[in-house]
Amino acid sequence: AGERMLAAHDGEVPALEVLNQAAEVLRADDDDERALILLAMADVYYALSEHDEAARAVDRALERGEPATAHRIRAQNIIGKIAYSRGRFDEAAKIFLENQERAEASEHDHLALQARVNRGLAEFNLRNYEDAREILERALSETRAAGDINYEALALVNLGVICQRTSDIGRSIRYF
């Protein structure tokens, strides 16, 4: 699959090349490091819209041993994003909620923030605009406190769109 993907992208997917090399030299008994590399590969596959490959990489990351809590949270986030990308917004929202709760309980604040923003997007696509607004407003506050401009921008844009969809044009301007 990796070769097929490299060929489809004219052999220029440097992240996958590096990750494949890392996986080859990785010690077989280091499950935590192996999970980390496979989850990075899953992220790359997801970014390239190779969702089946992303899901397989997640499965491989979780198949041996008990990966660190952060790795399990990250794996579930990828699975949620795959469900979201396939239009399964109910499933994605549930995954992101569980993930958010797991991340909060284990004090992985940034992973909780990612799950919250993703959950807000899923609720938005379910047309649960008030729920989405609440979730994304809280996330916006957290992104600003954390200095995470990527998720801040995502929250702002989607809050603006929610306001437009609910005919709150004055408020939408504040977000845009």
In this predicted structure, the answer to whether residue 144 has a pLDDT above a threshold of 80 is yes
Query: Model pTM?
Result: 0.81
Given this model, what pLDDT does residue 63 score?
A: 84
Question: Average model confidence (pLDDT) for the chain?
Answer: 86
Contact (CB, 8 A) for 152 and 138: no
Task: Convert the pLDDT of each residue in 43-87 to its tens digit.
Answer: 989 998 999 999 999 998 888 767 688 899 999 999 999 999 999
Expressed in angstroms, the distance from the first to the final Cα of the chain is 41
Q: Answer yes or no: is pLDDT of 2 > 90.
A: no
28 pLDDT higher than 60? no
| pLDDT for the residue 34 | 80
In terms of Cβ atoms closer than 10 Å to its own Cβ (0-12, 13-18, 19+), residue 174 is: exposed
